[in-house]
């Protein structure tokens, strides 16, 4: 892939604020933070299901992409194929709701699996490796100045800097996931007997609040298990494009 943006860990500063809900308004006090980005990663979101016959192939495509520098890959398991005989062990209803929001924004007739959404702006079938790669490369070449994302050293808050707000406004989301690969042996349905492999499985999804274009500090949700990671996405409310992203 031509894009080679990297996360650069280092010392930086974030505005500290008094909390109002989950969002705080900035003051002039500064605190050390970590995990800033020089160039924004391309966010690759896979909507998949353990009971979907074509999904293991898409899982492999996205796992390969996850190894590329400058790509943040996230796997969301959906539950709408559970009726076929195998309840997906990673699925949550809110993941299907997120996919439905993309269906409207991207003007796709129906939700489906395996679907890959790139930066909230493009979509492709997860089994179409060449099309997915082309969309990732196009997103990497289409970088706009993003609002900067900075994590506090304590890992419990994240700052989002200033920037231009899209029409309709923007939101900040926290995506908690388990980094790396996991396997599940499917007991029923179309993939019965198969060992299905997933990468960067999303565990929870939480909206932290609105982003108004001014610097603000947000409280991160607690992570349920050691080793979990969190990705923070600044995302347009209307067209769902991702304006900025970083992972801790």
Residue with the two structure tokens 């994240």: 158
Q: Kindly report, residue by residue over 127-172, the tens digit of the pLDDT.
A: 999 999 999 999 999 888 899 999 999 889 999 999 999 999 999 9
What distance lies between CA 186 and its chain's CA centroid?
A: 25
Continuous H helices in the chain: 55-66, 93-106, 129-141
As given in the structure block, the two tokens for residue 235 are 């995302």
Q: Kindly report, residue by residue over 47-75, the tens digit of the pLDDT.
A: 999 999 999 999 999 999 999 999 999 99
Residue with the two structure tokens 């997915």: 132
* Whole-angstrom distance, CA of residue 124 vs CA of residue 88: 22
* Whole-angstrom distance, CA of residue 60 vs CA of residue 181: 10
CB 177 within 8 A of CB 77: no
What domains are there in the chain, each with its CATH number? Answer: 7-247 (3.40.30.10)
């Amino acid at each position: 892939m031509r894009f080679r943006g990297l996360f650069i860990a280092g010392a930086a500063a974030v505005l500290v604020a008094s909390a109002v809900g989950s969002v705080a308004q900035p003051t002039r006090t500064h605190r050390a933070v970590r995990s800033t980005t020089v160039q924004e990663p391309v966010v690759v979101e896979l909507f998949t299901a353990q009971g979907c016959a074509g999904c293991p192939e898409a899982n492999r495509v996205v796992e390969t992409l996850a190894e590329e520098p400058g790509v943040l890959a996230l796997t969301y398991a959906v539950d709408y194929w559970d009726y076929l005989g195998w309840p997906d062990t990673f699925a949550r209803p809110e993941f299907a709701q997120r996919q439905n929001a993309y269906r409207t924004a991207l003007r796709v007739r129906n939700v489906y699996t395996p679907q890959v959404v790139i930066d909230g702006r493009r979509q492709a079938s997860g089994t179409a490796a060449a099309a997915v790669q082309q969309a990732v490369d196009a997103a990497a070449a289409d970088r706009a100045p993003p609002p900067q994302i900075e994590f506090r050293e304590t890992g419990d808050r994240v700052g989002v800097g200033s920037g231009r707000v899209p029409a309709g406004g923007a939101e900040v989301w926290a995506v908690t996931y388990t980094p790396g690969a996991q396997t599940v042996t499917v007991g029923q349905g179309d993939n019965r007997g198969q060992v299905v492999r997933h990468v960067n499985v999303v565990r929870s999804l939480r909206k932290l609040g609105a982003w108004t274009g001014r610097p603000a500090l947000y409280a991160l949700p607690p992570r349920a298990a050691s080793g979990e990671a969190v990705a923070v996405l600044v995302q347009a409310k209307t067209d769902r494009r991702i304006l900025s992203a970083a992972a801790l």
